[in-house]
Structures are given as C-alpha cells and as structure tokens.
C-alpha cells in the first residue's frame, strides 16, 4: 500500500503543486536571510556647463543605494518564511493522507468486487456439477426432463451473475490502475486498535496548526512593515571646475527614511488579522471534525466486526443445510426445487458474508484514515 501511495502521489497534480509551494517557501526564506531589505541600486549622473563656471566644467557622481531592514523586520520575515515552509510540508502530508483515503476506498471496492466474483464463480461450479448430475439421472430415468431444464436454467442465471461480477471487478481494477499505475491489488488492511483520543500528529491537525502559526507570523510582519524600507546611499563625486583649476573629489553619504506609511499599511494589517481569525476558527473546526470522524470510524469498525461474525455463522449454517438437502436429493428423498432453493439461499449467504468481510476490512482502513496513519 505504501508503494501504491508513492506511485499515486507521483502521478497526482497535488505533487506538482506541493513542490511549487515548497520551492516558493525556500525562495522567501532565502530572501529573508539577505542583509538587504530589497535589491541594491546603482546610480550614475553627470552635469556639464554649470552657470558661472568656465567652459569645460563637469560634475560626475556615482552612487550605491542600500535598502535597510527596519528594526525587527528581518527577524520577523525569517520567522514568517520558516512558518511558510513548515506549512508547505504539513500541506504535503495532509494531501498525501487524502490521497491515501482515495486509495483505501478504491482498494476496499476492489476487494468487495473480487469477493463477489469469487462467490459467483463458486456458485457456477456448484450448479454445473448439479446440472451434470441431474442430466445423468434424467438419462437413467430417475428424474424428469423438467428437472434437467430447471437445473440448466439456474446454471445459466448463475453464469450471467458471474459475468456481471467479472465486469464490476474489471472496472474496479481499472480505477485502481488509473490511480496508481499498478495492476496488483494491495493486501488487506491490518487491524488497528481502537484509540481513546485524536493523535496530535494527525496530518490535518498539523496542517491547521501550521496555518495558524503562519497567519500569526504574517500578522507580526505586517505590523513591522511601516512603509518602504530606509535607504543608505554611498557615492563618489568628482568635480572639474574647468580651465586650469584642479579637479576635486568627495564622498557622499546619505540616509533616506520614509515616514507616514501607517495609513497605507492598514489594509495589509487588516487582511492579516482576518486571515488569523480564519485560521483560528479553522483549527477549532478541524479538531472537532476529526474527533467526530474518529469516533464514527471506531464505532463502524466494531459494528462491522460483529456483523461479519454473524454473517459468517449464518453462511455456515445455510451451507450445512444445503449439504444435507443435497444428500437427501441424491437419495431420492427431496425434490430438485427444494435443493435449488437451498443452494440459492446458501449462495446468497456466502455472498453476504464475503461482502461483510470486505466491508469490515474497509472499516478498518477507514479507522486508520481517521487516525491519520499513512500506509
């Protein structure tokens, strides 16, 4: 099942989306670790022919602008990028869990179809042996031709049911192949103990916690981003007065500090506050939903186990009854219609038992899904 999940994950669109989210988070993490708040800028200017100066006067200036972090902004940006990377990882695990749920449902449907096909094939073999025996006894003069026709009719009905079950099985196998690319079906789900509490390591809980942590870090970063980043500029100026006067050089250092950006930052802070409230509500709702789903899955697993035992016992009783009636029929003490009815009831009971056993395995798989266990 683990190999099937890995193969299905590689074939899914969610895998590409997850890789993109993680790449973006790592890029933002690298940007937050930079010493500058934004890319540096290089400037160059030149002025000639200043008024009041001799001909040939020229002024040349080269400068470098360095955007600076505001106090605490770089640390907050690093925490926000780390939280986004953690959220991307948690999102991948949650998506893998949802995909595992699809695989468990597909595997359960395939097991159910296989069980029904096996029971239908067994019924065909039983009725074929009976039809052959009835035909021999008709030739011997022990039974009437009507009995042979009735046995053949039941055999044809069983063969039609078997072919229908084969088509359903092929459809389920095709759905499994589309998900995983594999032809082989997974083994039955192992039994899982009934839990008492929802595990904190549940991927969807971790995703809700990571989303809340990310919203809090983004809110803190938005409160620190008060307008554009300050700029430290460093330049070199060269002045040529013209004539026979010597050139002069000087170093220019400047600091540009934007102010009054609180009003422009309020929409971003309000959006971050709204996202934080949504993340808190989503965290509460996720825990409540997962707790309810776990309780329901545990109850269904217990109920399906008890029902599977009842169906198994009922099928055993009806098989034994059919065997006794078959012996009585061979001894000439029971008519054929009663034997056919007994065989039909036993076949229906066997099919119900097989279906319930497959349903029990699916209930165990759903319990593992509710626990957040990946294959």
Counted domains in the chain = 1
The DSSP secondary-structure symbol of 33 reads T
Residue 61 lies in a domain: no
Looking at residue 190, its pLDDT comes to: 57
Record the tokens describing residue 214, joined without a space. Answer: 């990310």
The residue among 375, 22, 374 whose CA lies nearest residue 203 is 374
C-alpha–C-alpha distance, residues 61 and 238, integer Å: 6
User: Has residue 129 been placed in a domain?
Assistant: yes
187 occurs within a structural domain: yes
Domain at 275, CATH number: 1.20.1600.10
- H/E element holding 235? strand 231-240
CA-closest candidate to residue 198, choices 369, 361, 2, 364: 369
pLDDT of res. 286: 92
Contacts of 257 (CB under 8 A, 6+ apart): 230
3-class SS of residue 43: strand
pLDDT at 54: 59
Residues of the chain with pLDDT under 70: 49-56, 186-196, 226-227, 242-245, 260-264
**136: part of which helix (H) or strand (E)?**
helix 73-140
For residue 53, tell me if it sits in a domain.
no
In a domain, 253, yes or no: no
Decide if 311 is inside a domain.
yes
| Residues in contact with 134: Cβ distance below 8 Å, sequence separation at least 6, in sequence order | 143, 147, 148, 151, 336
User: Residue 44: its pLDDT value, please?
Assistant: 87
Q: Which domain holds residue 189?
A: 74-226+270-371
Phi and psi at 150, nearest 5°, equal -65, -40
Flag whether 158 is in a domain.
Answer: yes
Q: Given its phi and psi angles, is residue 56 left (phi above 0), alpha (psi -120 to 50 degrees) or beta?
A: left
Q: CB 315: neighbour CB atoms within 10 A?
A: 22
């Amino acid at each position: 099942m683990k190999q099937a999940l890995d193969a299905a994950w590689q074939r899914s669109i969610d895998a590409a989306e997850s890789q993109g989210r993680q790449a973006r988070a790592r890029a933002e993490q690298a940007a937050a670790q930079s010493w500058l708040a934004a890319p540096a800028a290089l400037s160059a200017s030149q002025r000639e022919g200043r008024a009041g100066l001799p001909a040939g006067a020229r002024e040349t200036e080269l400068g470098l602008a360095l955007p600076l972090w505001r106090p605490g902004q770089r640390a907050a940006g690093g925490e926000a990028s780390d939280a986004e990377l953690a959220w991307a990882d948690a999102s991948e695990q949650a998506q893998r869990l949802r995909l595992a749920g699809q695989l468990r449902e597909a595997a359960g449907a395939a097991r159910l179809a296989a069980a029904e096909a096996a029971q239908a094939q067994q019924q065909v073999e039983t009725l074929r042996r009976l039809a052959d025996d009835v035909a021999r006894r008709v030739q011997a003069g022990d039974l009437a031709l009507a009995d042979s026709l009735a046995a053949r009719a039941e055999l044809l009905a069983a063969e039609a049911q078997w072919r229908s079950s084969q088509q359903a099985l092929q459809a389920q196998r095709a759905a499994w192949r589309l998900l995983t690319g594999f032809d082989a079906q997974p083994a039955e789900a192992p039994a899982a103990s009934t839990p008492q509490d929802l595990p904190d390591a549940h991927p969807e809980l971790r995703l809700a916690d990571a989303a809340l942590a990310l919203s809090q870090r983004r809110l803190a970063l938005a409160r620190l981003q008060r307008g554009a980043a300050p700029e430290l500029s460093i330049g070199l100026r060269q002045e040529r007065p013209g004539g026979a006067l010597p050139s002069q050089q000087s170093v220019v250092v400047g600091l540009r500090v934007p102010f009054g950006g609180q009003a422009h930052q309020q929409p971003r802070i309000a959006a971050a506050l709204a996202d934080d409230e949504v993340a808190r509500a989503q965290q509460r709702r996720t825990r409540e939903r997962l707790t309810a789903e776990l309780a329901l899955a545990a109850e269904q697993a217990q109920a399906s186990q008890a029902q599977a035992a009842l169906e198994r016992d009922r099928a055993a009783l009806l098989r034994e009854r059919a065997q006794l009636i078959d012996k009585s029929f061979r001894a000439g003490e029971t008519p054929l219609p009663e034997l056919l009815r007994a065989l039909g009831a036993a076949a229906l009971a066997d099919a119900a038992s097989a279906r319930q056993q497959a349903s029990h395995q699916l209930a165990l798989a759903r319990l593992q899904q509710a626990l957040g266990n990946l294959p």
